[in-house]
Structure 1
């Protein structure tokens, strides 16, 4: 289902689900709590709070776009993505702030103050936060079970819950760093926190942990061809993986073992964050390929090259191939060709989903495909196929990588100097 397509009656259907009102009540309670927290920040540090909100809101945009594009073939409804983001930013955060503090105090009492100082964040925060975030994916399942059709759906909703949590928590930490600095309403601590928690740590932080736990919930719900015990075991293992990744990230391991400076900090970030990142990328690839095979097979039954050609079927199931097709269209037919190919691909994806669900509006998607086909013919590029990898694209990729490394180095050096 295409996310930007608003189906009549969807809001009414959600309102008719009892779980929706339970979730709504929790969101309101979480919003009240977060308003109380931010209200104190605004009163004490208005400029720093505004800068923190703007910086981390801007950071959320590219994360949102990437997460939304993970499931290109069956895009999730925008309202459910917003709901997942809101759960992470309001419910999970408002529960985790006092919950983690209470559990850290318990670690200090049952263990020792030294244990709590060194390992409290690694033991307490993951236990509370990962459970609170995973419940957000469960809430989506209870409200809109029909939207969870693959493991990839669980990844998307889990990542969106994690993103909401990450942004809200980072804003709290950023303004909290201003209070700890004790130098009044200054923005320098906010910028330092943004570079460290947002720019450097964001790629393998809560969004990643949430995606891993969400994959487990997706497996539990979708893979009915497997036994219940196995599905529950996989879901528990995924949640344990999210907890372990989070605990490793918060742990004091390697904090003093690699020296000081930018290189040492980068090495710690990579050693702690790269394993779970590679794991979730592998899971996304497996889930995407499985979903792509299913939906492309639906299109293959049409046997109509006006709707999709053999070459386009090979392209539609691969994210890199879809991007290559849009890039080739841009080279041959300019921006109009690139946009037409993207619209064609989205219409083909929508048609595949509608065929799998026997949706009566499939004829509308067919008409949209034919319209874009005519546009491409008029531009002299009738088929959305992938082109060979060009030296320009390779050069652009290398240049972008070098710029990213340079920016990363500057950020790390700035943090090291601070």
Structure 2
């Protein structure tokens, strides 16, 4: 983020509280499962995280989101969403038990109905809290990234618990067997579900029209349906049913990638619409516009700059130019206070000027 970033107190407090809750949950799991079982489970839960985080963050590499916002989303999923999810699901299952349902029916209701409804509301609430940072959400891709990180945080801590349970029953073999399903075959499940809510929130913030906020509950509904589909298929213990649910979820994942690619192309296309107007400043040339307008051109320029020891300057220039394009898009979409627009524009031009001096 090139423009000055001022995190709100609520965001910082939310990050601290969520992180503390995640640590408390992990400590409780350590005390209940023992050091060996916890070490095995934590290792299996953390092992795929670097690759998954890199994959999610790569979706938004044109204009990376503030690190504090990203950390908040991940911590919210790992802390607040986990704790409240467990508490509310257990409370709901207790109500079903009081209604006279058998033990198996209560477990199935918790898995297929309560967990999707409660967990998707809690993970998605990270996006609702970020509504107050609406300038950080410039498109559907941003909503997907924030939602996916909340899902990754939730899955990481949840998986420690699941692997610990499998370790207690069948030792290392049981934990590794479950890891194959949750950590290798379906590692992005929670992220994909919650991305539906992320798309809904981002659509509401980046579109016009009186009904745009209807996208938020619709996105949440989509998240619940996908989550319930997978959980319901798992309860059947039928490989064909589980395989069918998996194909649906993978199709949704492919759709999310298509959305991000389409948005990236649209943003790069807008570079040619807005940046030529800054050629009289000497900070933008026709060659710069051509370079900034394609992913290949950006990569080639970065490779050249790194070879010349100017990688940071080129990165700063590309990011500032991208944010300048987004500033114009936001003003076109929402209108803008002229003085605020001018201040933000000049701050970005200052960065671009500093980068060009190198």
Give the TM-score category using the shorter length: 0.7 to 0.9
Could you tell me how far 1:235 is from its partner in structure 2?
Answer: 1.4
Could you tell me how far 1:152 is from its partner in structure 2?
Answer: 2.3
Q: Matched residues in 2 for 1:322 and 1:49: separation?
A: 47
Q: Matched residues in 2 for 1:160 and 1:135: separation?
A: 13
1:131 correspondence with 2:121: yes
Cross-structure match for 1:349: 319
Mapping of 1:2-401 within 5 angstroms?
7=4, 10-11=6-7, 14-15=8-9, 19-20=10-11, 23=14, 27-28=16-17, 30-31=18-19, 33-43=21-31, 44-107=33-96, 110=99, 112-113=101-102, 114-142=104-132, 144-181=133-170, 186-203=171-188, 205-223=189-207, 225-227=208-210, 230-252=211-233, 255-258=236-239, 267-268=243-244, 270-303=246-279, 313=289, 316-317=292-293, 319=295, 321=296, 325-326=299-300, 336=307, 344=314, 347-354=317-324, 356=327, 357-369=344-356, 371=358
Q: Deviations over 1:381-400 (max 9, x none)?
A: xxxxxxxxxxxxxxxxxxxx
Residues 73 and 350 of structure 1 are in contact (CA less than 8 Å); yes or no, is this contact kept in structure 2? no
Q: Describe the SS at the equivalent of 1:162.
A: helix
Q: Deviations over 1:118-172 (max 9, x none)?
A: 4531211110000001111112222x33322333222221111111111111112
Cross-structure match for 1:407: none
Cross-structure match for 1:400: none
Change (3 A) 1:305 1:358: closer
Change (3 A) 1:322 1:67: farther
| TM-score, normalised relative to structure 2 | 0.79
Q: State which drifts further: 45-54 or 119-128.
A: 45-54
Q: State which drifts further: 212-221 or 147-156.
A: 147-156
Could you tell me how far 1:341 is from its partner in structure 2?
Answer: 7.2
Change (3 A) 1:312 1:126: farther
Could you tell me how far 1:308 is from its partner in structure 2?
Answer: 5.8
Residues 323 and 348 of structure 2 are in contact (CA less than 8 Å); yes or no, is this contact kept in structure 1? no
Q: Describe the SS at the equivalent of 1:41.
A: helix
Q: Matched residues in 1 for 2:11 and 2:81: separation?
A: 17
Residues 150 and 291 of structure 1 are in contact (CA less than 8 Å); yes or no, is this contact kept in structure 2? no
Unpaired runs of 5+ residues, structure 1, are 372-418
Residues 92 and 132 of structure 1 are in contact (CA less than 8 Å); yes or no, is this contact kept in structure 2? yes
Residues 166 and 178 of structure 2 are in contact (CA less than 8 Å); yes or no, is this contact kept in structure 1? yes
Change (3 A) 1:252 1:119: farther
Could you tell me how far 1:340 is from its partner in structure 2?
Answer: 6.2
| TM-score, normalised relative to structure 1 | 0.69
Q: Deviations over 1:366-385 (max 9, x none)?
A: 342564xxxxxxxxxxxxxx
Could you tell me how far 1:35 is from its partner in structure 2?
Answer: 3.9
Q: Which has the higher helix share?
A: 2
Residues 73 and 353 of structure 1 are in contact (CA less than 8 Å); yes or no, is this contact kept in structure 2? no
Change (3 A) 1:309 1:193: farther
Residues 317 and 355 of structure 2 are in contact (CA less than 8 Å); yes or no, is this contact kept in structure 1? yes
Residues 119 and 252 of structure 1 are in contact (CA less than 8 Å); yes or no, is this contact kept in structure 2? no
Q: Matched residues in 2 for 1:78 and 1:219: separation?
A: 22
Could you tell me how far 1:298 is from its partner in structure 2?
Answer: 2.8
Change (3 A) 1:269 1:345: farther
Q: Matched residues in 1 for 2:315 and 2:198: separation?
A: 27
Could you tell me how far 1:314 is from its partner in structure 2?
Answer: 5.4
Could you tell me how far 1:78 is from its partner in structure 2?
Answer: 0.6
Q: State which drifts further: 81-90 or 309-318.
A: 309-318
Could you tell me how far 1:23 is from its partner in structure 2?
Answer: 2.7
Change (3 A) 1:126 1:318: farther
Q: Number of residues paired by the alignment?
A: 339
Q: Matched residues in 2 for 1:141 and 1:306: separation?
A: 37
